[in-house]
Amino acid sequence: MTTVSIANSEKTPAIAVFVDWFDAQRHPDFVAWADKRRSQGLASWCDSDSSHGASEYPDIFVGVDPSLNGEGTDSDMPEPYWVALVDSVRDQLVSGASTLHVIAWIRPSSS
């Protein structure tokens, strides 16, 4: 007989945040941070050697602490960007709405 373990799961909030931070000319610190993360779990399907290209961008997922106090899985992101990200999440959720990290999907804005 084969025993199968079934994992329990819990819903966690996820928020898509649309930003213009992928422009290396205007936001070199963010792009450098994203490039450095490429080999550390960055969800990316870009063909280029960097985390962004003329028409390709990575999918970046980070976890924001559910207390919304500014802690999270990638709080080592350059400070102005991390603060803006946490503020965006804070605008959408109530502190403590989940016991799990809020997943923030950082995506390029369309403009």
Alpha helices of 39-78 — where are they, by DSSP H? none
On whether the CB atoms of residues 33 and 77 are closer than 8 A, the answer is: yes
- What is d(CA 9, CA 7) in angstroms, rounded to the nearest whole number? 6
Q: What is the pLDDT of residue 9?
A: 61
Q: Is 72 helix (H, G, I), strand (E, B) or coil?
A: strand
Distances (CA, A) of 107 to 15, 49, 95: 10, 19, 23
Q: What is the reported pTM?
A: 0.77
The 10s digit of each residue's pLDDT in 31-90 is 888 877 766 655 655 555 555 655 667 778 888 998 888 898 888 899 999 999 999 998
Helix (H, G, I), strand (E, B) or coil at 91: helix
